[in-house]
């Protein structure tokens, strides 16, 4: 716990790192955050001078996959981030302290560094039944979040749970799981994904640390650097899409050839994430590279947009795998049938109508004659 | 023997050239958009040269969809403008039932269309009140398709027009939802086309006033005796 508030450089010096190692670390951090080579000096500058920001990492309704992803960041190596870069004062998963000590750490940070600490939130907040579905030390998640967010310098929503509710908020959402931006009144940086890419997580933190402000966000509050493009736009299988070469079944020749997975329900075209650029596990692979379509885990309500293996969501009220197309076809056929029936009925009445009109015509003629006479 | 009727009809110039041009350009655009849109949603499994560089048909289908969408959109804008400067039959007031006369006529048209009553009570020369109102709903569908379509397009475009619709995506909760709604709305256009084409023929038949050909030549006919 950082009571003296060392800068990253000071902390690294204390651990015996050389200047060269520090500069190499800065270059890694800059690259991971998408900062241009000419910006490396500002990274060096920031990490030399600025005190390491204290961090409070809260866990609510989540599965800890965000933390798991975070500790697998490849550059900057996570131990560096956690121990040299940030001053991780409170996180249930990784801290050594427990019980009253842990609570003490959190409260000390909030009390000693108001307006300075970064609040990272993993998990959604239940709002039904007075919030009893998630409590820590006898307090509800909402209560803890409100208190922690009050004096935070920046709030980051880790993962889809905190950003859009994820699986807890999927229909019928029994706990009233709510993303954090709907609970607190501060701007929230959303880093959605189930989990988000570890390198993206560290890069977002790096950005805040280096520039002292939030990264540029898109219309949905996500950093543009990493969520500005669709998985589809940077996918290495994209040429197959434009060429109209699609996998038709999981075990066909086209799957073997690595064609586009669009017809297998791949959500790449509607999902904003950096998977196809950054990739996962030290740039090893990402779902589409492994032969499975994207399930759109960083998009709002992706659990309710199923099934994952078809492109249109099930149409509500018509049972599983009934899509808008099925319903539309039925309605279209019904309209055609109705029109056909109407035409038949009209033509059955045709004779009657024409007779009637002839009668009218004759009547008119008579009237006309009558007029003459 | 008289199958001809001794009724006098007056020839009325109803659809001005811009309206007719709009109609057929719009019909063409909608047809192309439905076909290409359906293909984009459900691409054919046509085979197959073996590598991606050898063909580009899906990209071409998408390109056709986007180009047609731009034409469709501006055509729609021109028609909206014409709704304020055109003749009495193309004015916006025909499309929004605000007067009692229009409501009465909607009732009459429903009787003619559904109960197949005699067509004598439809007095409008241009759109009947129900048709006008249906076209108003269609305009809302046009606007909806334009908003969702350009919103989907906005993330791959830097140009001014699509970017103006970027706000639709967060509003609807993401590209997936926008795409879903854009797709559902396509079926409105398909069903509309079926019913619209049929009703034109049907009204031509029961009213006998040249409804079908009026959209080609612009002229319709009204009975002299029922003229106001």
Q: pLDDT value at position A1? A: 43
- Chain B residues with CB under 8 Å of A364 CB are 5-7
Identify all chain A residues contacting B51, using CB atoms and an 8 Å cutoff: 243
Report yes or no on B10 lying in a domain: no
pLDDT of residue A85: 67
Average pLDDT over residues B187-201: 93
Residue A2: which pLDDT band, with cuts at 50, 70 and 90?
very low
Q: Say if the Cβ atoms of B198 and A220 lie within 8 Å.
A: no
Query: Are B180 and A312 within 8 A, CB to CB?
Result: yes
Nearest CA in chain B to A259: B52
Separation in Å, CA of B220 to nearest CA in chain A: 20
Of B2, B55, B173, nearest to A301 by CB-CB distance is B173
B194 in reach of chain A (CB within 8 A): yes
Query: Hey, which bits of chain A come out as E strands?
Result: 54-59, 87-91, 118-122, 125-126, 135-136, 139-140, 154-158, 177-178, 188-191
pLDDT bin (cut points 50, 70, 90) of residue A321 is low
For residue B81, the distance in angstroms to the closest alpha carbon of chain A comes to 32
Residues from chain B that touch A244, judged by Cβ atoms under 8 A, are: 43-44, 46, 55-59, 61
Query: Does residue B65 have a pLDDT over 90?
Result: yes
Q: Is B120 on the interface with A (CB under 8 A)?
A: no
Burial of A236 (0-12, 13-18, 19+ CB in 10 A): exposed
The Cα A309–Cα A292 span in angstroms is 10
**Contact A179/A220 with Cβ under 8 angstroms?**
no
Which residue range(s) make up the domain with B112? 18-44+52-193
What pLDDT does B153 receive? 93
List CB contacts of B172: < 8 A, sequence separation 6 or more: B148, B151, B178, B181
| B12 has pLDDT over 50 | yes
The answer to whether position B111 is within a domain reads: yes
Per DSSP, the residues of A293-339 read ----TTSTTGGGG--TTSSSPPPTTS-TT--HHHHHHHHHHHHHHHH
Q: What is the CATH number of the domain that holds B168?
A: 1.20.950.20
The total number of structural domains that make up chain B: 1
Nearest to B191 among A332, A358, A360 (CB): A332
Give me B168's structure tokens: 């639709």
Nearest to B33 by CA among B67, B10, B8, B57: B67
| Backbone phi and psi for residue A125, each to the nearest 5 degrees, phi listed first | -115, 125
B13 bridge partner residues: B219
CB-based contact (8 Å) between B45 and chain A? yes
Q: Is residue B215 part of a domain?
A: no
pLDDT at B228: 43
Q: Tally C-beta pairs within 8 A across A and B.
A: 139
| B167 within domain boundaries | yes
Which residues, other chains included, contact B22 with Cβ-Cβ below 8 Å and sequence gap of 6+? B75, B78, B79, B82
**pLDDT one-digit tens code per residue, A20-54:** 988 888 888 788 777 888 888 888 888 888 887 88
* B24 in contact with A, Cβ within 8 Å: no
Domain for residue B22, yes or no? yes
Residue B155 to residue A241, Cβ atoms within 8 A: no
Tell me, yes or no, whether B210 lies in a domain: no
Is residue B103 assigned to a domain?
yes
Query: CA-CA distance, A8 to A203, in Å (whole number)?
Result: 16
Q: How far apart, in whole angstroms, are the C-alpha atoms of residue A343 and residue A336?
A: 10
Cβ contact A140:A134 at 8 Å = yes
Give residue-wise pLDDT tens across range A148-171. Answer: 999 999 999 999 999 999 999 998
Q: Is any Cβ of chain A less than 8 angstroms from the Cβ of B98?
A: no
- Report if residue B147 sits inside a domain: yes
How far is residue A86's CA from residue B49's CA, in Å, rounded to a whole number? 54
Between chains, do A242 and B58 touch, taking CB under 8 Å as contact?
Answer: yes
User: CA A13 to CA A52: how far, in whole Å?
Assistant: 14
Contact A364 B5 (CB under 8 A): yes
Inter-chain touch A243–B183, beta carbons under 8 Å: no
């Amino acid at each position: 716990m950082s009571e003296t508030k060392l800068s990253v450089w000071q902390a690294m010096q204390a651990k015996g790192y050389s200047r060269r190692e520090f500069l190499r670390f800065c270059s890694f951090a800059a690259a991971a955050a998408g900062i241009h080579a000419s910006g490396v000096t500002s990274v060096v500058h920031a990490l030399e001078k600025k005190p390491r920001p204290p961090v409070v990492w809260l866990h609510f309704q989540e599965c800890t996959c965000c933390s798991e992803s975070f500790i697998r960041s490849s550059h900057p190596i996570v131990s560096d981030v956690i121990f040299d870069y940030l001053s991780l004062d409170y996180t249930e998963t990784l801290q050594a302290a427990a019980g009253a000590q842990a609570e003490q750490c959190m409260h000390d940070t909030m009390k000693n560094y108001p307006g300075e600490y970064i609040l990272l939130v993993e998990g959604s907040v239940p709002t039904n039944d007075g919030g009893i579905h998630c409590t820590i030390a006898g307090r509800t998640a909402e209560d803890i979040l409100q208190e922690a967010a009050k004096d935070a310098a920046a709030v980051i929503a880790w993962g889809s749970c905190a950003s859009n509710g994820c699986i807890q908020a999927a229909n019928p959402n029994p706990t009233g799981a709510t993303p954090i931006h709907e609970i607190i009144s501060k701007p929230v940086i959303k880093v959605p994904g189930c989990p988000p890419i570890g390198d993206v997580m560290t890069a977002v933190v790096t950005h805040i640390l280096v520039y002292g402000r939030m990264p540029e966000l898109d219309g949905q509050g996500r950093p543009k650097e990493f969520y500005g493009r669709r998985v589809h736009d940077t996918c290495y299988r994209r040429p197959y899409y434009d060429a109209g070469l699609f996998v038709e079944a999981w075990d066909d020749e086209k799957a073997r050839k690595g064609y586009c997975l669009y017809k297998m329900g791949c959500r790449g075209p509607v999902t904003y994430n950096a998977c196809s650029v950054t990739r996962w596990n030290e740039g090893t692979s990402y779902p589409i590279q492994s032969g499975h379509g994207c399930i759109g885990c960083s998009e709002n309500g992706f659990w309710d947009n199923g099934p994952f293996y078809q492109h249109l969501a099930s149409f509500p009220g018509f049972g599983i795998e009934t899509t808008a197309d099925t319903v539309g076809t039925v309605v279209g056929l019904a309209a055609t049938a109705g029109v056909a029936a109407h035409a038949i009925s009209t033509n059955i009445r045709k004779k009657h109508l024409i007779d009637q009109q002839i009668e009218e015509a004759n009547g008119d003629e008579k009237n006309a004659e009558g007029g003459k006479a | 023997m008289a199958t001809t009727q001794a009724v006098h009809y007056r020839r009325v110039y109803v659809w001005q050239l811009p309206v007719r041009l709009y109609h057929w350009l719009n019909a063409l655009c909608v047809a192309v958009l439905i076909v290409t849109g359906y293909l984009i949603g459900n691409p054919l499994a046509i085979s197959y040269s073996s590598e991606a560089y050898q063909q580009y048909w899906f990209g071409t289908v998408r390109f056709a969809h986007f180009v047609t969408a731009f034409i469709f959109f501006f055509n729609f804008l021109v028609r909206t403008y014409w709704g304020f400067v055109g003749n009495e039959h193309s004015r916006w007031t025909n499309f929004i039932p605000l007067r009692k006369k229009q409501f009465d006529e909607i009732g009459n048209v429903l009787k003619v269309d559904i109960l197949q009553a005699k067509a004598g009570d439809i007095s409008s020369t241009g759109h009947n009140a129900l048709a006008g109102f249906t076209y108003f709903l269609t305009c809302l569908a046009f606007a909806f398709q334009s908003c969702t379509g350009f919103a989907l397009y906005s993330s791959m475009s830097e140009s001014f027009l699509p970017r103006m619709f970027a706000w639709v995506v967060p509003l609807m909760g993401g590209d997936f939802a926008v795409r879903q709604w854009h797709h559902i709305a396509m079926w409105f256009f398909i069903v509309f086309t079926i019913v619209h084409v049929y009703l034109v023929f049907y009204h031509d038949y029961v009213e006998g006033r040249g409804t079908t050909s009026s959209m080609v030549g612009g002229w319709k006919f009204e009975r002299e005796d029922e003229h106001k």
